[in-house]
Amino acid sequence: MFPAIPSRQARRALLVCLSLLAAAIFLSTFAASAAPALQNSACQTAPIAADPSASVCISRVIVPFNGVSPENQFYVSWRSQTPEKGQVQLSSGQVFDDVRGADYQGITHYIMVDNLDAKKNYSFDVISGGQTFTNNGAHWSLKTGPALQSTNPYIILGRVKNSDGSDADNVIVFAQLRDGDDKGTQGRSAYLSALVVLADGGNYFTIDVDQARTQNLAQKYVFNPETDRVQIIAVGAQGTATQVFKLSDLHPPAPAPSLSLSSSGSGTAATATFTPIPPTNTPTFTPSPTATETPTAPTPTETRLAPTRVPPTESIVVPTEQASPTIAPTQETVTAETPTLVAIPAGEEVEPQHTRVFGGVPTVVPPPPPANNNALFIVLALVLFIGAILLGAAAFFASRR
């Protein structure tokens, strides 16, 4: 009997140890998956403060090539209280200026960090208004991920307006894909971004969502335009706007929506109504007025005073009188075209050639909060832990018998 007791105790002790080990592994895995992101999760809508660290965002991590390449890049953005110059400094000491120029000073800052290597860690600090911010000494960092190329571009576009209806200038637009059918890539993507600059004739933002990656940047984000969604966040001097759309609703030929900035952070979004142009107005008869405007033909006929030719001149005058009404409709068609040309930009969403995008989210109703299963995971871990303790206690008392 006594030799069997140690073996039974050993088995039970081993079972307790394995249970504790499993619980520890589960908790460590959960902690790793729930670890905070490399940036503030609400960096796009963080309030403007003297220290802009909370508003520093990393977006549009694009790595199409292995090795060091100028096409391998990511973008850093933030907002400041007053117009000032912004820069990004890598830990190597290399400094990058705003995409709008080294001398640009503004409230929104948008810096491209390029000439990077694939699957490499980079850390950096932000210089705003001549002052260096180090993320409380932790610095900002990311790993670029493997080389992934955009093989089938899928462009989404829209407009951003101020609260008074004017086009918003120097606005940063963020886009994050969200799974809507539990197919393809699940969860949410890393952020893409773009910049709208009116001085360059750009009043639309365009973003290629085929460049989207998973949040850890390790894989391509696979999406379905008809079932998956995209959150658009627009950030400008007059506030922010947030809205969630179905992907296909932002892709031509769907009419591009207009997002209105608001100091409250929600803003509004309105879909442009497409006004079809009647097919009769499409042919422009610009040469016909020039041809029919030559009523000089009757004037030479009037100079012909030969009485024998009076009848033909009358026959000629009759068609010219019939031709004159044709001039009026053509003029009416020309004038009718002018209002349609004015209406075209409101519904014509295919204006990407006017947009300046330096890289690649809008709401009347705020987006639904992401599902949070942290409580469930913690309860499961506690159950495992308590079960392990109970098993150990049972083994102990059993051994005493």
Does the pTM surpass 0.75? The reply is no
* Domain stop point among 108, 143, 178: 143
* 130 lies in the same domain as 163: no
Burial of 374 (0-12, 13-18, 19+ CB in 10 A): exposed
Tell me the C-alpha distance between 13 and 392, whole Å: 7
Average pLDDT for residues 60-78, to the nearest whole number?
A: 97
Is 251 part of any domain?
Answer: yes
What's the number of domains the chain is made of? 4
Q: What percent of the chain has pLDDT over 90?
A: 51
In this structure, the answer to whether residues 322 and 387 fall within a common structural domain is no
Are both 129 and 235 inside the same structural domain?
A: no
| pLDDT greater than 70 at residue 353 | no
Question: Is residue 382's pLDDT more than 90?
Answer: no
Residue 87 sits in a domain whose CATH number is 2.60.40
For residue range 218-232, what is the model confidence (pLDDT) as tens digits? Answer: 999 999 999 999 999
Least confident of 42-46, 257-261, 324-328: 324-328
320: three-class secondary structure by DSSP: helix
Helix (H, G, I), strand (E, B) or coil at 175: strand
- What is the pLDDT averaged over residues 155-176? 95
Q: Is 276 helix (H, G, I), strand (E, B) or coil?
A: coil
For range 348-362, the mean pLDDT? 42
What is the rounded CA–CA span in Å between residue 388 and residue 206? Answer: 55
Q: Which two tokens stand for residue 335?
A: 């004038």
Token look-up 């959150």 returns 231
**Do residues 180 and 224 share a domain?**
yes
Residue 282 sits in the same domain as residue 180: no
Q: Output the CA angle 279-282-286, nearest 5 degrees.
A: 145
On the question of pLDDT at 329 being above 80, the answer is no
What is the model's pLDDT at position 393? 78
362 close to 262: Cβ distance less than 8 angstroms: no
Contact criterion met (CB below 8 Å) for 249 and 231: no
Q: Is residue 307 a part of any domain in this protein?
A: no
116 with 60, same domain: the answer is: yes
Report phi then psi at 78, rounded to 5.
-165, 175
Residue 188 domain flag: yes
Q: Are residues 265 and 159 in the same domain?
A: yes
Could you list the residue range(s) of the whole structural domain that residue 54 is in?
A: 43-143
